[in-house]
């Protein structure tokens, strides 16, 4: 029995969505990476499209060589090949092929860059920029305070509902549909209380919404919308190219700078593997070294 390559790809994406609980954004990234591979096959060996069993290791290796000849970063090449390796493992696991056709793929080695963060004084300047006497300004201030206080991903922030807010914590559903509870700082709680009391009712008017953060149209704030307003506040505070993930990095770095436990930070960030969180310790250590060289008389 033959199975067209496209059908196999659709089954793989279904598994990623249902079993791994990946977001639509992440699924779209997988789909784009795998579409790039099928486009390559259309040019180099079109008959593979008729039967996934025709996939051979040479196809994956030729594709890897073609990527290296394109103007792509090593990180992009590694991501695209990783998507393809996952597809190969799926084919073998489901007994759709006699052996994994992508087992010989080797990902390019890339150095792990340290995440950037914003200094505490810059954070203070940023938080002072929204005009909290206006409904939109109060909302913006609450969103920025909550983001910096909790280290949420921007998608998690925008998906927060009223029922997710408790006394001193927020509940969020992260990657893999895993629920976690994150502490909410006092200043963030105050900004949130002000927004809920004086701003959100004005933005909604007569409308109803389960979403915590809403626009003047009564709809939930989008990732793109928040990204734009945050960048504007960043420019006003002298922070170029400010984006939500930079505040997430700052949240983790500042906690570790002040002695927080690595495992606790891992839990708050929602990292499945502590090794993902460990990169922030290098940032904290760099900060300590700079402080030592600046202040120690024999540094």
**60-112 pLDDT, tens per residue?**
989 988 887 887 888 888 889 999 999 999 999 999 999 999 988 888 776 55
**119-150 pLDDT, tens per residue?**
788 889 999 999 999 999 999 999 999 988 88
pLDDT value of position 249: 78
Of 85, 153, 159, 254, which residue is the catalytic one?
153
Of 79, 129, 171, 175, which residue is the catalytic one?
175
pLDDT value of position 297: 46
Q: What angle do CA 290, 294, 297 make, to 5 degrees?
A: 130
> Contact, 203 vs 187, CB < 8 A?
no
pLDDT value of position 133: 95
According to DSSP, residue 122 is labeled H
Active site residue 280: yes
Of 92, 129, 271, 282, which residue is the catalytic one?
271
Of 59, 85, 159, 248, which residue is the catalytic one?
248
Active site residue 11: no
Active site residue 92: no
Torsion-angle region of 178 (φ positive above 0: left; ψ -120 to 50: alpha; else: beta)? beta
Which residue do the tokens 């390019």 mark?
108
pLDDT value of position 24: 81
Active site residue 271: yes
pLDDT value of position 152: 87
What spatial distance separates the first Cα and last Cα of the chain, rounded to whole Å?
A: 72
pLDDT value of position 17: 85
pLDDT value of position 298: 42
Q: What angle do CA 148, 140, 249 make, to 5 degrees?
A: 20
Instruction: Collect the ranges in the chain with pLDDT lower than 50.
Output: 114, 274, 276-277, 280, 282-292, 295-299
Question: Rounded to the nearest 5°, which phi and psi values hold at 240?
Answer: -75, 140
Of 180, 243, 245, 282, which residue is the catalytic one?
245
Active site residue 298: no
Active site residue 245: yes
């Amino acid at each position: 029995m033959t199975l067209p390559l496209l059908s196999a790809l659709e089954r793989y994406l279904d598994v990623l969505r249902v079993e791994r609980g990946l977001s639509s954004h992440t699924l779209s990234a997988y789909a784009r990476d795998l579409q790039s591979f099928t486009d390559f096959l259309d040019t180099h060996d079109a008959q593979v499209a008729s039967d996934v069993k025709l996939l051979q290791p040479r196809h994956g290796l030729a594709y890897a060589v073609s990527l290296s000849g394109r103007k792509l970063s090593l990180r992009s090449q590694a991501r695209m090949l990783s998507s393809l390796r996952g597809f190969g493992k799926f084919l073998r696991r489901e007994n759709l092929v006699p052996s994994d056709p992508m087992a010989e793929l080797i990902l390019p080695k890339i150095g792990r860059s340290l995440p950037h963060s914003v200094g505490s004084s810059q954070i203070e300047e940023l938080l002072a920029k929204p005009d909290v006497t206006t409904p939109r300004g109060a909302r913006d201030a609450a969103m920025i305070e909550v983001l910096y206080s909790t280290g949420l991903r921007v998608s998690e922030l925008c998906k927060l509902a009223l029922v997710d807010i408790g006394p001193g914590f927020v509940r969020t559903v992260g990657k893999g549909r895993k629920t976690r509870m994150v502490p909410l700082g006092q200043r963030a709680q105050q900004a949130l209380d002000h927004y809920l009391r004086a701003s959100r009712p004005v933005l909604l008017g007569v409308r109803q919404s389960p979403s915590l953060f809403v626009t003047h149209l009564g709809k939930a704030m989008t990732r793109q919308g928040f990204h734009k307003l945050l960048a504007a506040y960043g420019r006003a505070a002298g922070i170029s190219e400010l984006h939500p993930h930079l505040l997430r990095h700052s949240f983790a770095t500042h906690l570790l700078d002040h002695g927080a436990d690595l495992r606790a930070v891992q839990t708050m960030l929602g990292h499945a593997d502590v090794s993902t969180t460990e990169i922030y310790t290098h940032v904290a250590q760099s900060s300590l070294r700079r402080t030592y060289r600046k202040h120690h008389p024999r540094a």
